[in-house]
C-alpha cells in the first residue's frame, strides 16, 4: 500500500487554508503533517482540529517541520517566500495559489523551479483550467474573431479585472503570437481596435466568480462560460494538483499538465 502523501499547508487559518484542512479530513491518501499560520495568530500553538495525528499543532514557522512531500500554499507573498526557502532546503514540491506575487518573488520562484517541482495557478478550478485550454485553441483557430472577456465577482473584490481574466487574456494573446501588454483594452471609447483583447468587469452582491470568454465573428459567436458557486473548488483543485505533483521532477508545472489530455 502506498503511504499517504505528507502534506503541509501554508496559511492554514486563512479561508483557503481552512477549506484545505476540511478536505484533508476526508482524504485517506494524504496526511496533514504541518500547518503554518501567521506569527501572532490566535491559532498558533493550538491543536489542529480533525488532523489525523491528534497531537498536530499549528506552527508559525518551518523550523520543527517533519519530513514533507508537498507544501500547499495559500497565504501572502512574504509567507510564500518563507515556505519556498524551506522547500528549496529540503527538496520539497510546492503548490501555490497565492496571488499578488511581486516580480522579485516571481523570479525567485522561476529560479527555484530549476531545483524543485513547482505548480502555481491564479485559479485552481479544474473547470477554468479546461476553459483556458479551449479558449487558447479557439483564439488560434479563429484568428480574425474579436476576443472579449467579461468577469463578475462579489462587491468586496479589490482587484479588477480578476487575475483569472488577465490569465485568460495572456493565454489568448500568446495563442495569437502577441502579448497582453500589446493587446489589452481595459477601457473603451470609440471603435474597437483590431486585434485587441477587451475586458469588462461586473461587481456586485456575493458572486463567487464568473468568467465569459467570447470569440465574436461576423454572423456568429462562440461563448465559453465558467461559473463558480463554491470556493471549495479551489481547494479541491489544489489538493488534486498536490497529489499529481508528488514525485515529479523539478520544473514549472501548470494545471494544464494536471488535466492532461482531454477525452
Catalytic residue numbers, as ranges: 153, 157
What is the C-alpha separation between 17 and 110, in angstroms, rounded?
24
Closest separation in Å from C-beta 185 to ligand NAD: 25
CB-neighbour burial class of residue 256 (10 A; exposed 0-12, middle 13-18, buried 19+): middle
- Closest CB 74 distance from ligand NAD, rounded Å: 4
Q: Is 234 in the site for ligand NAD (CB under 6 A)?
A: yes
Q: How far is the CB of 9 from ligand NAD (least distance, A)?
A: 9
- Measure Cα distances from 32 to 54, 68, 87 in Å: 11, 9, 16
Instruction: Count residues binding ligand NAD (CB under 6 A).
Output: 26
Q: Which of residues 60-89 bind ligand NAD (CB under 6 A)?
A: 74-76, 78-79, 82
List the beta strands (DSSP E) in the chain: 5-10, 30-36, 70-73, 93-96, 117-120, 146-153, 184-185, 197-203, 209-216, 221-228, 251-253
Q: Note whether 123 binds ligand NAD by CB under 6 A.
A: yes
CB 63 to ligand NAD: min, Å: 13
CA 143 to CA 112: how far, in whole Å? Answer: 36
Task: Indicate whether 254 belongs to the interface with ligand NAD (CB under 6 A).
Answer: no
Binder among 9, 11, 51, 244 for ligand NAD (CB under 6 A): 11
- Cα end-to-end distance, the chain, whole Å: 29
Q: How far is CA 188 from the centre of its chain?
A: 29
List 5, 7, 9, 13, residue binding ligand NAD (CB under 6 A):
13
Pairing of β 70-73 and β 5-10: parallel
Residue 199 binds to ligand NAD (criterion: CB under 6 A)? no
Site map 124..143 versus ligand NAD, x via CB under 6 A: x-------------------
The minimum distance between CB 259 and ligand NAD, in angstroms, equals: 15
Does 162 participate in binding ligand NAD (rule CB under 6 A)? Answer: no
Please choose, out of 36-44, 169-177, 198-206, 239-247, the segment that lies near ligand NAD by the rule CB under 6 A: 36-44
What sign results for the dihedral spanned by CA atoms 6, 260, 130, 84? positive
Spatial strand order of the sheet with 184-185 comes to 184-185, 197-203, 146-153, 209-216, 221-228
Nearest residue (beta carbon) to ligand NAD = 14
Instruction: List residues binding ligand NAD (CB under 6 A).
Output: 10-11, 13-17, 36-38, 41, 74-76, 78-79, 82, 97-100, 121-124, 234
Amino acid at each position: 500500500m502506498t503511504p499517504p502523501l505528507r502534506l503541509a499547508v501554508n496559511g492554514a487559518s486563512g479561508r483557503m487554508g481552512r477549506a484545505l484542512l476540511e478536505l484533508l479530513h476526508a482524504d485517506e491518501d494524504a496526511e496533514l503533517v504541518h500547518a503554518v499560520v501567521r506569527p501572532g495568530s490566535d491559532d498558533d500553538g493550538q491543536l489542529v482540529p480533525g488532523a489525523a495525528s491528534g497531537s498536530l499543532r499549528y506552527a508559525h514557522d518551518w523550523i520543527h517541520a517533519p519530513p514533507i512531500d508537498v507544501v500547499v500554499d495559500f497565504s501572502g507573498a512574504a509567507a510564500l517566500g518563507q515556505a519556498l526557502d524551506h522547500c528549496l532546503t529540503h527538496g520539497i514540491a510546492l503548490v501555490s495559489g497565492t496571488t499578488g506575487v511581486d516580480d522579485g518573488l516571481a523570479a525567485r520562484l522561476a529560479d527555484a523551479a530549476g531545483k524543485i517541482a513547482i505548480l502555481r495557478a491564479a485559479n485552481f478550478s479544474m473547470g477554468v483550467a479546461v476553459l483556458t485550454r479551449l479558449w487558447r485553441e479557439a483564439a488560434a483557430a479563429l484568428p480574425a474573431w474579436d476576443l472579449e472577456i467579461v468577469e463578475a465577482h462579489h462587491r468586496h473584490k479589490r482587484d479588477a479585472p480578476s487575475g483569472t481574466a488577465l490569465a485568460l487574456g495572456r493565454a489568448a494573446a500568446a495563442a495569437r503570437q502577441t502579448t497582453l501588454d500589446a493587446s489589452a483594452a481595459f477601457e473603451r471609447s470609440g471603435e474597437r481596435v483590431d486585434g485587441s483583447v477587451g475586458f469588462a468587469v461586473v461587481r456586485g452582491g456575493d458572486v463567487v466568480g464568473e468568467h465569459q470568454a467570447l470569440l465574436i465573428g461576423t454572423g456568429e459567436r462562440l461563448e465559453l462560460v465558467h461559473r463558480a458557486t463554491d470556493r471549495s473548488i479551489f481547494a479541491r483543485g489544489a489538493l488534486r494538483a498536490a497529489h499529481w505533483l508528488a514525485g515529479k521532477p523539478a520544473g514549472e508545472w501548470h494545471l494544464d499538465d494536471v488535466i492532461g489530455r482531454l477525452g
